[in-house]
């Protein structure tokens, strides 16, 4: 988790929001719910 915090600290709030918004678009057709489902759907987009 430290790696993510370091990554997060290198980005502006605007950049983080843009990444989040793009991620939502990538997984918008998923029917699962919750944070874990979002993470799984996002991860499988890049496989």
Residue spans of the domains in the chain: they are 2-45
pLDDT at 31: 63
What CA–CA distances, in Å, run from 41 to 7, 18, 22, 47?
Answer: 21, 18, 13, 10
pLDDT of residue 11: 86
What whole-number distance in Å separates Cα of residue 29 and Cα of residue 1? 28
The pLDDT profile of the chain, 47 residues, written as one tens digit per residue, is 678 788 778 888 898 888 888 877 776 766 666 777 777 777 776 55
* pLDDT at residue 24, rounded to an integer: 78
Residue 30: what pLDDT? Answer: 63
> Is this prediction's pTM over 0.85?
no
């Amino acid at each position: 988790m430290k790696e993510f915090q370091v990554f997060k600290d290198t980005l502006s709030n605007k950049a983080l929001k843009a990444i989040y918004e793009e991620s939502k678009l990538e997984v918008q057709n998923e029917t699962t719910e919750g944070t874990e489902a979002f993470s799984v759907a996002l991860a499988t987009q890049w496989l």
